[in-house]
Amino acid sequence: MAEADEVLSMVRGGWVSLCLRATCELGVVDALDQPQDLATLASRCSAAPVTLGRLLRVLVDLGLVSTDGGRYAVTTMGATLRVGDPSGLRHLAMMQTELPNLTAWRHLADAVRRGSAVYQDVNGQTSWEWLAAHPAEEAVFNASMARRAATQAAAVLAGYDFSGVRLVVDVGGGQGAMLAALLAGQPLLRGVVAERPEVAAAATAGLTAAGLGARARGEACDFFAGVPAGGEVYLLSNVLHDWDDPQAVTILRSVHAAMGLAAELLIVENVLDAPGRTSREQRDVHLVDLHMLVMFGARERSQSQYDDLLVAAGFETSTLAPSPNSWNVLLTRPAV
């Protein structure tokens, strides 16, 4: 029955994710820099040929690998999982299947029943504490966030004119990838990434490696306590969706306190009711919304839900900027 087959493939979805993780861990698509037979590939991946062949069978079924005359090759789809691929999907595949994240998702029903996060209860610490204690996984997390930087920067640049702006502060800006993309086309613009201490250090290193050391750096902060002052533009990209309403208002108040009256705030998020998203993109936002629930007791929001937070923190209601992609930019400023 077609309906049952559809549901069966949904039931298998978790296994598919874990096949992708194993593929990344074994370096299968990286080792396939040219078509290879099973024995050569198994030796390059340090895997037993018979069991690697069984994994490859599934990868062929998924369209990630093709096979012809006993030789295997990566498809265009499979190549997106390569180390260094601009999609950064390898980092996402690894990050999403970290055991603490899977354990939290295993308790989604509890989160839905209670209306709050489960990550801390089941893992004994917050996700931020876990990342701080696991530097390798922290780097993968930051890289998986950075994979979206170019598209987010394109949305920001389409929605806001930076000519005349001298300093932008990206609050919770990760390793600085979006800031670097913004600065690339604006030679007079300087930037600060305000981040947790270990991430701020990674941002300084990343921005310096990108040749932007003279114009941009990371600065350690706890955005619940305060953020650097002096910016003409403040960015909050994928930060507010990590927090429940009272916490999000506290972060916004910190930003408000650091801003001059003429400064502006740009919020980059997937706004639930923004127009123009495809049904596939919309489904992805809805799944990320559940991820925010299990991880943080947080949520994706509509524009009016963001406006409620903004007004509570002393800002004007927002304007939704036109976007060339699925990212949304809400523009606001301190209310006078």
Ligand X SMILES: C[S@@+](CC[C@H](N)C(=O)[O-])C[C@H]1O[C@@H](n2cnc3c(N)ncnc32)[C@H](O)[C@@H]1O
Catalytic residues: 241
Q: Which residue, 23 or 270, has its beta carbon nearer to ligand X?
A: 270
Give the list of residues 6+ apart from residue 149 with CB closer than 8 angstroms, or none.
Answer: 177, 178, 180, 181
Closest approach of Cβ 333 to ligand X, in Å? 20
Look at residue 249 and give its three-state secondary structure: helix
Considering the complex, what minimum distance in angstroms separates the CB of residue 148 from ligand X? 6
In whole angstroms, give the CA distance from residue 129 to residue 111. 20
> Is-contact 127 119, C-beta < 8 A?
yes
> What's the min distance (Å) between Cβ of 128 and ligand X?
5
- Nearer residue to ligand X within complex by CB, 19 or 235: 235
Nearer to ligand X, 238 or 326 (CB): 238
Q: 13-26 and 89-96 helices cross at what angle (nearest 10)?
A: 120
CB of 234 to ligand X, least distance (A): 12
Nearer to ligand X, 48 or 209 (CB): 209
Q: How many CB atoms lie within 10 A of CB 61?
A: 11
- Strand, coil or helix: what is 262? coil
Output the smallest distance, CB 199 to ligand X, in A. Answer: 4
Residue 68 backbone dihedrals phi, psi, to 5 degrees: -155, 120
In the complex, the residues that contact ligand X under the rule CB under 6 A are 128, 145, 148, 152, 172-174, 178, 195-196, 199, 221-224, 237-239, 242
Which string of b and e fits 290-317 if b means at least 16 CB within 10 Å?
Answer: ebbbbbbbbbbbebebbbbbbbebebbe
Of 204 and 237, CB closest to ligand X: 237
Residue 97 has which token pair? 């299947």
In this complex, which beta carbon is closest to ligand X, that of residue 140 or of residue 221?
A: 221
Phi and psi angles of residue 289, each rounded to the nearest 5 degrees, phi first: -60, -45
Taking phi over 0 as left and psi of -120 to 50 as alpha, with beta for the rest, 226 belongs to left
Cβ distance 294 to 323 under 8 Å?
no
Task: Name the token pair of 322.
Answer: 């036109």
We find the least distance from the C-beta atom of residue 196 to ligand X, in angstroms, to be: 4
Contact at 8 Å (CB) between 150 and 216?
A: no
